[in-house]
Amino acid sequence: MKTIFDRNTIDELVQRIKSLQVNADAQWGKMDAYQMLKHCTMSEEMFQGKKQYKRLFIGRLFGSMALKGILKNENTMKPNQPTHPEMKIKGTGNFENEKTKWIELLRSYSTFLNPNFVHPFFGKMTKEQIGNYVYKHTDHHLRQFGN
């Protein structure tokens, strides 16, 4: 299974991000291209310990089971997955700056160190789970916009 901790995987994702266009239409979901970029940078900041979000009650009940379902094989994530309320983006911003920020955050996984990470929905995650999930999440949103 692909992981964000593999340099070739990061390079592949970076090329896909670079080809994103501000006016790209979403294949599913309610976000526009900028909102997706912002959502993804917030997600990377969370995994890397730069931001924290409130743990969701429903995640305490079903989070670990949902994570196992997502990571059980190489299949892509399904469209229209739920989003943490604090990571739903409204409005707009600088598309190119957000692209650059996301790329920098993905590249910084080469020095990742957040051993006690607790996801607000999935709960405690191992480094291997983080690596696989971050790849799948990134791939999911790039596919959302045809990349």
Phi, psi for residue 22 in degrees, rounded to 5? -60, -35
Cβ count within 10 A of residue 36: 22
User: For residues 146 and 19, is the Cβ–Cβ distance under 8 A?
Assistant: no
For residues 63 and 60, what is the distance between their CA atoms, to the nearest angstrom?
6
Is residue 62 one of the residues assigned to a domain? Answer: yes
Is residue 2 one of the residues assigned to a domain? Answer: no
Residue 81: its pLDDT value, please? 87
The mean pLDDT of 120-126, rounded to a whole number, is 96
Is residue 63 one of the residues assigned to a domain? Answer: yes
Residue 128: its pLDDT value, please? 96
Dmax (CA) of the chain: 39
Is residue 17 one of the residues assigned to a domain? Answer: yes
Give the number of domains in the chain.
1
Q: 70 lies in which domain range?
A: 7-144
Is residue 72 one of the residues assigned to a domain? Answer: yes
- As a whole number, the mean pLDDT across the chain is 95
Residue 14 pLDDT exceeds 90: yes
- Give the rounded percent of residues in the chain with a pLDDT score beyond 90: 89
pLDDT digits (tens, 9 = 90+) for 66-87: 999 999 999 999 998 888 888 9
Is residue 46 one of the residues assigned to a domain? Answer: yes
Question: pTM value?
Answer: 0.95
Is residue 1 one of the residues assigned to a domain? Answer: no
User: For residues 38 and 98, is the Cβ–Cβ distance under 8 A?
Assistant: yes
Residue 59: its pLDDT value, please? 87
